[in-house]
Amino acid sequence: MSAAKNKLSEITSNDSGLGGQYKTWFLDYASYVILERAVPAIEDGLKPVQRRILHAMKEMDDGRFNKVANIIGQSMQYHPHGDASIGDALVNLGQKELLIETQGNWGDIRTGDDAAAPRYIEARLSKFALEVAFNAKTTKWQLSYDGRKNEPVTLPMKFPLLLAQGADGIAVG
């Protein structure tokens, strides 16, 4: 019995055993999240979720405000990580009042007040966003996560968005 216990202790304590594999897996996952999801691209200053939201809003654009719940649903065609992350990113973009015009209670980043539920608030792309973020001729496209739609690799931003908006949020704890 003690020989088996010693063997288990040896497997879980060295880096080539189970404990080492978990360390490797976590570092691989954390690196993926930080590099592929949490850090904005230098080319357009957007995180993938933000880019997908703007692309979905461009597809929906008819000049009128849309319910945020509908924007989230449209964005889910491109973003595989669920509606909560899309909603949070959309509210964050809306609170900065640069790319998205808002209507309703969007909360306040200075006081920490939360936005109203997505069914009560509305948004549309700002004139600024329509002018500086989209150009079908110069946009590179890739298939979405399920291969059903095309989404932009980056948006051909004509403005240093990363400098204007900055980057915030969390990656992997």
Q: Which long-range contacts (CB under 8 A, 24 or more apart) does 84-91 make?
A: 85/49, 86/49, 86/52, 86/53, 87/118, 89/47, 89/49, 89/50, 89/53, 90/53, 90/123, 91/115
CB 94 within 8 A of CB 104: no
CB 141 within 8 A of CB 152: yes
Q: Which residue among the candidates 22, 29, 32, 120 is catalytic per the annotation?
A: 120
Separation between Cα atoms, residue 53 and residue 155, nearest integer Å: 12
Copy the structure tokens of residue 143: 């298939």
Q: Specify whether 120 is catalytic.
A: yes
Residues designated as active site:
120
